[in-house]
Amino acid sequence: MPAYQYSQTNSYQKEYRAKLLIHPEYQRLRMRIRQYRARVAVVLLTCYLSFLFVVVSFPHVLLQPVSAQNPTPWLIPVAITLILLQFLVTGIYVKQMNTVFDEELERIRQEVEVSVDG
Amino acid sequence: MDETLKGGTLYFVMAVIPLMVLLIWSASRIRTAAEFYAAGREYGGLRNGLAITGDYLSAASLIGITGLILMSGYSGLLYAVGFFSGWPIILILLADKLRTIGHFTLADVLKSRFSDSRVVLVATLGYFPVVVIYLSAQLVAMTWLLNYIFDVGYERILAGITVVALVTALTGRMIFSSRAQMIKAGLVIVVMLVMTLLAYDKASSSLSELFSVSYWQASEVATGVVVSEDSPFALFSLGVALILGPVGLPHVMSRFFSVADERRARMSVFYATGAIGAFYILIILLGFLTIHLMGQPDALPADAGNNLVLVELAELIGGEFLAAVLVAILVVVLFSVMTSLILTGSSAFSHDWYARTLNIHKPGWSERHLHRLASSVTVVSSACLALLWQTENVAYLVGLAFAFSASVNVPLLLGALYCDRLTSTGALAGGLAGLAATVAAVILGPLVWGHVSVSNEAPFPWRHPALFSLSIAIVVMWFASRWSSRNNTEGEIER
């Protein structure tokens, strides 16, 4: 937990929040985070829903064998790839949020904190 | 037959006792939801992630999905992928949002967003069928497993388990700690791994050869009767329920809410995604190995609702010893899921709604009594459903619980977080409409009507109602919000 949430009085917190919320960089960052999140959500949902759509509407498509030598139906590699892909996207998202965005957020917070103190 | 049974029983008892002791020893005695939330804040991302995995990977879905893949390669696979795909979505849609706001339960979120506390009651009511049906799936699974060992009849074993569950509910003891959940997750994944390796060894053929056999059988089943049992719309509806459902599981979400900060919440979902993904990939492989080794489904006893396929497979590849050990592990895991479900489910009612929302300050006893009442009602209703649905596949029952959560609690939660124009009236009406629609669809559908009535024609044809009831909930929410003006006192949820 960042210290500012507990160490200060209520009025300080109010002022701090008010300053943070109107801080232009903070607003821009929040917008970027929102867009990034929306993009990732769209990617994930597209993957899953298109798989679902194919499975439901054209059940025979994914039962085609991979090749003449290897008669494994496409269904199995596709399903496993889908799971791995989603895991990968989750990893990228978490990394981006936990490093890039969190650091910027922390920097802006400290900036605002300093300006309230001063 | 008697001889083999005795050997199996002996192995079972020898395996189940140390496992039970391990699990009970590892669990700290947490009695209330408040203690549980407090404990959760100490854990880091990896630990919490594994604990979430332990909560989510119910043995019911494990034995259910393997059965489904054998019966109909296709929809079994759909379950495996769907159960997994909910996780990343939860992370994106909810993790950051909820952590920034700093609420810990669905009730907290709804309370701060809507002025009308009845919205919280609707969400609590929405939890009830989710918990009851999810619990009934665990009961069906546990009963079949124990019946496999002791063979004294489904009803008698169900009655025995119900008594144990009632005692658990009334004394409030539970096997519920992050350590116990981690052990559980480890047990399930190790069992899966061992089974897959042994089955692969038994199949002793190259992967391509293996899948070539399963290909023909899978395609035979998948293109025949089994796929056409559910219409494309019903299957799509199932797919929607599967990704939205986890959001409404109280025992999973409460653990997820209880981490200390956003970073750790994200990391724990990330680790949970990895472990759960590995688990479902193993299930897919194991399922198709099962097709290869066990061939056509008619060789199996039909009355168990394909719930014993995994155990039959264990007996085939490792004799009764492996089967008994597998059953022992699964029963212990099921038991622990059962206790945590009973606790979190009924505390949603007694703690989140009664004590915190109504703000009734009678020190202690009334909340505790209500909690006991709620958990007893939960157990008894689940037992009745488990009796009615003894021939249903348990993964399907879990999917049904997800349908309820996807049509009541998910629209409420997402609406509260993302839709500014949603009013109290809208939330109230939409939540109730979603609940009523799902209940009606289940009762009029094949699942209740089909079992009870003489003619098998159910008025509502789909076995998976989520798409239907979710649409009703959203439409009602939208109209009711338009026709009611927004109350000024309602809280804003900051973005």
pLDDT 10s digits, B461-477: 788 888 899 999 999 99
Q: CA-CA distance, B362 to B151, in Å (whole number)? A: 48
Give the CATH number of the domain where residue B78 resides. 1.20.1730.10
B489 within domain boundaries = no
Band of residue B115 on the pLDDT scale cut at 50, 70, 90:
confident
A94, B33, B213 from B350: Cα distances, Å: 35, 10, 53
A106 contacts in chain B (CB < 8 Å): none
CA distance to partner chain B, nearest, from residue A93 (Å):
8
Q: Which residue has the higher pLDDT, B333 or A16?
A: B333
Closest by CA to B473, choosing from B404, B421, B418, B400, is B404
Shortest CA distance from A31: residue in chain B:
B495
B206 vs A: CB within 8 A = no
Give pLDDT tens digits for B126-142. 888 988 999 999 999 99
User: C-alpha dihedral over B288, B290, B293, B296, to 10 degrees?
Assistant: -90
What DSSP assignment string belongs to B31-60? -SHHHHHHHHTT--HHHHHHHHHHHH--HH
- Average model confidence (pLDDT) for chain B? 77
B63 within domain boundaries = yes
B478 vs A: CB within 8 A = no
Q: Do B270 and A63 touch (CB under 8 A)?
A: no
Compare CB distances from A44 to B92, B219, B232 and report the shortest one's residue.
B92
Question: Which of B41, B81, B267 to mutate against chain A (most A CBs within 10 Å)?
Answer: B81
Q: CA-CA distance, B10 to B12, in Å (whole number)? A: 5
Give pLDDT tens digits for B25-40. 666 555 555 555 555 5
Per-residue pLDDT averaged across B422-440, rounded?
90
Question: What ipTM describes this predicted complex?
Answer: 0.82
B260 contacts in chain A (CB < 8 Å): 1
3-state SS, residue B487: coil
B74 vs A: CB within 8 A = yes
Q: CA-CA distance, B376 to B343, in Å (whole number)? A: 11
Per-residue pLDDT averaged across B65-72, rounded?
77
B495 within domain boundaries = no
Band of residue B3 on the pLDDT scale cut at 50, 70, 90:
very low
Q: Which residue has the higher pLDDT, B215 or B180?
A: B180
B494 within domain boundaries = no
The number of angstroms, rounded, from the C-alpha of B456 to the middle of its chain's C-alpha atoms is: 27
B51, B56, B87, B241, B355 from B246: Cα distances, Å: 15, 8, 8, 9, 25
Where are chain A's structural domains? 12-117
Which of A9-23, A98-112, B213-227, B345-359: highest mean pLDDT?
A: A98-112
Alpha carbon distance, N-terminus to C-terminus of chain A: 23
Residue B488 predicted with pLDDT over 60: no
B139 within domain boundaries = yes
Q: Exposed, middle or buried, B360 (CB in 10 Å: 0-12/13-18/19+)?
A: exposed
Task: Say which residue the tokens 């829903």 belong to.
Answer: A49
Compare CB distances from A94 to B232, B243, B270 and report the shortest one's residue.
B270
Q: CA-CA distance, B318 to B436, in Å (whole number)? A: 47
Q: CA-CA distance, B17 to B23, in Å (whole number)? A: 10
A51, A67, B59, B296, B394 from B78: Cα distances, Å: 9, 23, 18, 20, 15
Instruction: Determine the structural domain holding residue B211 and report its residue range.
Output: 2-483
Per-residue pLDDT averaged across B349-372, rounded?
66
CA distance to partner chain A, nearest, from residue B217 (Å):
11
A22 contacts in chain B (CB < 8 Å): none
Residue B223 confidence (pLDDT): 39
Q: Diameter of chain B by CA atoms?
A: 74
For residue A65, list its beta bridge partners: A73
Q: CA-CA distance, B353 to B150, in Å (whole number)? A: 41
Read off φ and ψ for residue B195, nearest 5 degrees: -60, -45
Tally of domains in chain B: 1
Residue B457 predicted with pLDDT over 60: yes
Residue A5 confidence (pLDDT): 43
Q: Do A56 and B232 touch (CB under 8 A)?
A: yes
A76 contacts in chain B (CB < 8 Å): 77, 211, 284, 288
List all residues 6 or more positions away from B13 whose beta carbon is below 8 Å from its beta carbon. Answer: none
B35 vs A: CB within 8 A = no
Read off φ and ψ for residue A65, nearest 5 degrees: -70, 150
B429 within domain boundaries = yes
Residue A9 predicted with pLDDT over 60: no
Residue B214 confidence (pLDDT): 53
Residue B262 confidence (pLDDT): 74
Q: Which residue has the higher pLDDT, B3 or B284?
A: B284
3-state SS of B382-417?
HHHHHHHCCCCCHHHHHHHHHHHHHHCHHHHHHHHH
